[in-house]
C-alpha cells in the first residue's frame, strides 16, 4: 500500500523563496542592511558621510573621484612670477582657495560661475615661497582639503633695467630711447615684442642692439617737433634667456621740443643753430686742432652744467705732454660724448683763436657771450652736426651716435 501524498500548500513555497533571496542578499558585502530598511535594523546612510566609492556597488551609484589640475605643481621651484596660478576640477566643485606667501600676504583670485576653475588675479613676487590650499567637493558633497607649496624665481635670476629718457622728460628731436638691462638678453625678439613705442606724430622706428644689455630705439628721421613719444614696457615675467626673468613693467611719456639742429663747421670756425629749420644764430668757435680733431658726424647733447671742472688726465694727458692743461674750471658746459667732448666757454688763453683757428682738444669752444647763449637755447636731445673736420666718427655708444648709422643698417 503506497503512502498517502499530502497536497503542498502554496504559501510555504513562497516563504522558502523569500528566505533564499534574503540569504543571497545578506551574503553580498553586507549591502542588504542599506537597501532593505524594512528588514534591516538601520536606515540608509548618507553617501556624503561614507567612504568614497570608486567601484560599482550592488545598489548604490558610483561617486567618481574629483580630478584636480593645479598649477604650479606641488614643490615647484624657480616658478616665473608671471606664470598663471590656477586650479581646475572635474567631477566636483571648488569651495574655496587660499594662496599666501610665507610673509602672510594673500594673493586674490576668483572662482568661475560653474565652480570648476579658480585663477589668481594678483601678481606673485620674486624670491618668495607660497602655500596653495584648496577645498573641493565631490558630487556626493564630500569635501577634501589639499595644500601644496611652490617658490618663485630667486633673486639671482631676477633682471631689471634702466630707461632713458625718464618718464616726463622733455628732450630734443635727436634723442634715442635707451634701455640698459641688468642681465644679458638672449631672447631679443621676446623683449622687443613686449615693448610698444608710439609717436603722436605717427612715426615708426626700430630697435638697435649695441650689446646684449643695451638696446636703443629711434625713427628713420628725427622725432617730429613738439610730438610725444610713449614707451610702454610690459616686461614683467619675460624670459630674457639663461634663466633670467625681467621683474618690471614700466611706462614713459617723453615730450619732444622744437627741432634744434646746429652745424659746427671746423673749416669755417662757425656754429650755426637752426630752430624748426630756420637759422636763428651763427657764432664763431674754435674746435679740435690737428692732434685732437673734433669727431665728425651727428652728436646729441647730453647733460648740462653751468660750472664744471675738467682734468687733462681724464683724456690720458700727462704733465710732460705739451698738450697737458692740468685741472681747470670751465663754464657753460654741455656734454657731446662720454669720452669728454663738450660745448663750453673756451679758456681765456683760447679767446684770440675763436673764429679763426682750431686749438681745442676736440671740444667746441665759444666766447663767453656765445657760450651763454647756446647754454640757454639748447639742451638734452638737441643735435649738433660737425662737418669739415679731420676727425673720425666717435663710437656710436660714446654718447648717442645713433644718427651716424644708416637707417638700413640701424633697423636690422
Res 302 pLDDT > 60:
yes
- Torsion angle, CA of 394/398/401/405, rounded to 10 degrees? 70
Helix (H, G, I), strand (E, B) or coil at 291: coil
Supply the pLDDT for residue 58: 52
**Which one-letter DSSP state was computed for residue 200?**
T
Per the model's pLDDT, the better-predicted residue between 4 and 386 turns out to be 386
Q: Give a three-class secondary structure readout of 295-331.
A: CEEEEECCCEEEEEEEEHHHHCCCCCCCCCCCEEEEE
* Alpha helices (H) along 222-354: none
Domains and CATH numbers, the chain: 67-153 (2.60.40.3780), 157-256 (2.60.40.3710), 260-404 (2.40.440.10)
pLDDT value at position 327? 74
The edge-to-edge listing of strands for the beta sheet with 109-111 is 67-71, 86-90, 117-120, 109-111
Cell of 138: 565631490
Chain segment 34-87, per-residue pLDDT in tens: 444 443 444 444 455 555 555 555 556 688 999 999 999 999 999 999 999 999
* pLDDT of 33: 39
- Maximum average pLDDT range among 55-64, 137-146, 378-387: 378-387
Question: Mean pLDDT, to the nearest integer, of 230-252?
Answer: 96
Three cell numbers written together for 106: 594673500
Mean pLDDT of all residues in 179-203: 98
Neighbours of 49 (CB within 10 A): 9
pLDDT of residue 54: 55
**111-125, 154-168, 260-274, 316-330: least confident range:** 316-330
- Whose grid coordinates read 663767453? 368
Closest by alpha carbon to 149, among 101, 94, 109, 108? 101
pLDDT digits (tens, 9 = 90+) for 82-103: 999 999 999 999 999 999 999 9
Q: State the pLDDT confidence band at 10, using cuts at 50, 70 and 90.
A: low
Q: Which of 39-53, 180-194, 246-260, 334-348 has the lowest mean pLDDT?
A: 39-53
Nearest in space to 347 (alpha carbons), one of 301, 375, 315, 309: 309
* Nearest alpha-carbon partner for 404 in 260, 263, 298: 298
The per-residue pLDDT for range 251-266, each reduced to its tens digit, is 999 999 999 999 999 9
- Quote the mean pLDDT of the chain: 88
Amino acid at each position: 500500500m503506497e503512502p498517502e501524498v499530502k497536497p503542498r500548500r502554496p504559501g510555504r513555497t513562497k516563504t522558502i523563496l523569500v528566505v533564499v533571496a534574503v540569504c543571497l542578499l545578506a551574503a553580498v558585502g553586507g549591502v542588504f542592511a542599506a537597501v532593505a530598511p524594512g528588514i534591516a535594523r538601520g536606515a540608509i546612510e548618507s553617501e556624503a558621510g561614507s567612504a568614497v566609492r570608486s567601484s560599482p556597488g550592488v545598489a548604490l551609484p558610483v561617486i567618481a573621484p574629483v580630478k584636480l589640475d593645479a598649477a604650479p605643481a606641488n614643490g615647484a621651484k624657480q616658478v616665473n612670477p608671471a606664470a598663471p596660478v590656477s586650479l581646475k576640477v572635474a567631477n566636483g566643485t571648488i569651495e574655496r582657495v587660499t594662496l599666501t606667501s610665507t610673509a602672510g600676504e594673500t594673493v586674490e583670485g576668483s572662482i568661475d560661475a560653474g565652480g570648476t576653475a579658480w585663477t589668481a588675479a594678483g601678481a606673485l613676487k620674486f624670491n618668495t615661497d607660497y602655500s596653495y590650499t584648496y577645498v573641493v567637493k565631490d558630487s556626493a558633497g564630500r569635501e577634501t582639503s589639499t595644500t601644496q607649496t611652490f617658490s618663485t624665481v630667486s633673486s639671482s635670476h631676477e633682471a631689471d633695467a634702466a630707461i632713458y629718457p625718464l618718464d616726463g622728460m622733455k628732450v630734443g628731436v635727436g634723442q634715442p630711447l635707451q634701455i640698459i638691462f641688468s642681465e644679458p638678453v638672449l631672447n631679443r625678439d621676446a623683449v622687443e615684442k613686449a615693448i610698444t613705442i608710439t609717436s603722436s606724430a605717427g612715426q615708426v622706428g626700430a630697435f638697435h642692439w649695441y650689446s646684449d644689455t643695451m638696446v636703443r630705439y629711434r625713427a628713420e628721421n628725427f622725432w617730429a617737433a613738439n610730438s610725444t613719444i610713449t614707451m610702454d614696457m610690459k616686461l614683467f615675467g619675460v624670459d630674457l634667456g639663461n634663466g633670467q626673468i625681467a621683474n618690471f613693467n614700466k611706462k614713459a611719456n617723453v615730450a619732444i621740443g622744437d627741432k634744434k639742429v646746429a652745424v659746427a663747421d671746423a673749416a669755417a670756425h662757425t656754429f650755426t643753430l637752426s630752430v624748426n629749420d630756420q637759422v636763428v644764430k651763427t657764432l664763431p668757435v674754435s674746435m679740435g686742432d690737428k692732434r685732437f680733431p673734433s669727431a665728425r658726424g651727428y652728436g646729441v647733447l647730453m647733460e648740462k652744467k653751468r660750472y664744471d671742472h675738467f682734468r687733462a688726465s681724464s683724456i690720458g694727458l700727462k704733465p710732460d705732454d705739451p698738450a697737458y692743461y692740468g685741472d681747470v674750471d670751465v663754464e657753460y658746459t654741455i656734454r657731446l660724448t662720454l669720452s669728454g667732448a663738450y660745448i663750453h666757454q673756451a679758456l681765456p688763453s683760447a679767446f684770440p683763436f675763436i673764429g679763426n683757428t682750431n686749438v681745442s682738444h676736440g671740444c667746441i669752444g665759444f666766447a663767453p657771450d656765445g657760450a651763454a647763449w647756446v647754454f640757454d637755447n639748447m639742451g638734452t636731445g638737441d643735435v649738433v652736426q660737425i662737418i669739415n673736420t679731420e676727425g673720425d666718427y666717435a663710437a656710436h655708444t660714446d654718447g648717442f651716435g645713433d644718427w651716424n648709422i644708416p637707417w638700413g643698417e640701424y633697423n636690422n
